[in-house]
Amino acid sequence: MEIVILADAAAVSAYAARCVANQIRRKPRTVLGLATGSTPAGLYGELIRLHRENGLDFSQVTTFNLDEYLGIPRDHPQSYHQVIRQAFLDHVNVQPGRVHIPDGMAKDVDAECRRYEDAIRAAGGIDIQILGMGKTGHIGFNEPGSSLGSRTRLKELTPPTIHDNSRFFPSEADVPRYSITMGVGTIMEARRCLMLVLGAHKADTLARAIEGPVTAMVTASMLQLHPLATIVIDEAASERLELREHYRWVFEHKPSWQQE
C-alpha cells in the first residue's frame, strides 16, 4: 500500500487525476472503476478540465460504477446513474455504450449481479478502481460484516450510512435501504485501487483500515492485501495514523521511475 498525504482536497483531487490520466495515456482502452459520493467530485472536476484543456481522450475508455441504490429509477436525481453523469460522464467523451452501472430496478437482482460480473470480465477486468471510504470503513457498499471474498450482490445499508447519505435526500426515510454493489472480492481484482479519503471525521476509521488488522468490520482494510493500492488522503484524514511521518518520508523520497 502506498499512502500519499497531501495538504487538502484540491491537492488530493489533482494527484488522483494525474494517476488516472497517466493510466489512460498509457492505455487508451483503460477500464475505469468509478465511485460516487462527495469525495471524488474534485477528481472528476480535474479529469473534465484535463479533457477540455489538454485533450485527455476518454473515447476508448470503459467505465464500471461500483454500486447503485436498489429500487430507485435511473432518472431519480440521486440514482448513481444520474450522479455520475452529472459529476463526470456528461462532460467527457466516454462512449455511452461503454458505460456500465448496475440496474437498481432489476426484477431479478441475482441475475443482474451475475450479468455485471460477466460484463467486467468480458471487458478484460478493471485497470484502475477509484474508491471512497464511508465512515463505517466501507468500500462500495460493503458494510461492516461483508464477506471479504464477496462478489457483486444485493447489500443492505447500515444505519450510519443511511444517516450519512441522508444529506442527499429530503429526509433519512427517503434513503434507499438496499444497494447493488461490487463485492470486496470484485474490487480486489482491479489491477490498481486508488482510494481517496478526506476529512478528520474519517481519521479514526482510516487508521483502522490502514494500520489495523484486515477485518470484515472495516472492509477498506482488505486493501492491505492488494498488490497495488494507493491511498490518497488530506492532512485531516491522516491525523490518527501511527506511521504518518514515515509515509510522508517514503512519498517525498519516491524514486522518479515509480509511477504516480
Here's the x/- map for ligand F6R, 169-208, by CB under 6 A: it reads as: ----------------------------------------
Question: Does residue 13 interact with ligand F6R by CB under 6 A?
Answer: no
Q: Cα separation of 205 and 214, whole Å?
A: 13
Here's the x/- map for ligand F6R, 51-90, by CB under 6 A: it reads as: ---------------xx-----------------------
Question: Does residue 35 interact with ligand F6R by CB under 6 A?
Answer: yes
Question: Does residue 139 interact with ligand F6R by CB under 6 A?
Answer: yes
Question: Does residue 17 interact with ligand F6R by CB under 6 A?
Answer: no
Please choose, out of 1-9, 130-138, 143-151, 222-230, the segment that lies near ligand F6R by the rule CB under 6 A.
Answer: 130-138
Give the CB-nearest residue to ligand F6R: 132
Q: Where in 211-250 is the site for ligand F6R (CB under 6 A)?
A: none
SS3 readout for the chain: CEEEEECCHHHHHHHHHHHHHHHHHHCCCCEEEECCCCCCHHHHHHHHHHHHHHCCCCCCCEEEECEEECCCCCCCCCCHHHHHHHHCHHHCCCCHHHEECCCCCCCCHHHHHHHHHHHHHHCCCCCEEEECCCCCCCCCCCCCCCCCCCCCEEEECCHHHHHHHHHHCCCHHHCCCEEEECCHHHHHCCCEEEEEECCHHHHHHHHHHHHCCCECCEHHHHHHHCCCEEEEEECHHHCCCCCHHHHHHHHHCCCCCCCC
Residue choice 33, 102, 140, 183 for contact with ligand F6R (CB under 6 A) = 140
Beta bridge partners of 131: 195
Nearer to ligand F6R, 20 or 246 (CB): 20
Residue choice 42, 104, 134, 183 for contact with ligand F6R (CB under 6 A) = 134
**To the nearest whole angstrom, how small is the minimum distance from the Cβ of residue 87 to ligand F6R?**
11
**To the nearest whole angstrom, how small is the minimum distance from the Cβ of residue 218 to ligand F6R?**
12
Q: How many whole angstroms from its chain centre is CA 249?
A: 26
Cβ count near 152 (within 10 Å): 27
**To the nearest whole angstrom, how small is the minimum distance from the Cβ of residue 72 to ligand F6R?**
14
Please choose, out of 33-41, 94-102, 145-153, 236-244, the segment that lies near ligand F6R by the rule CB under 6 A.
Answer: 33-41
**To the nearest whole angstrom, how small is the minimum distance from the Cβ of residue 259 to ligand F6R?**
23
Please choose, out of 35-43, 86-94, 206-214, 236-244, the segment that lies near ligand F6R by the rule CB under 6 A.
Answer: 35-43
- Side-chain-facing half-sphere of 3: CA atoms under 13 Å: 24
Q: Cα separation of 36 and 142, whole Å?
A: 14
Question: Does residue 132 interact with ligand F6R by CB under 6 A?
Answer: yes
Q: Which residues bind ligand F6R (CB under 6 A)?
A: 35-39, 66-67, 132-134, 138-141
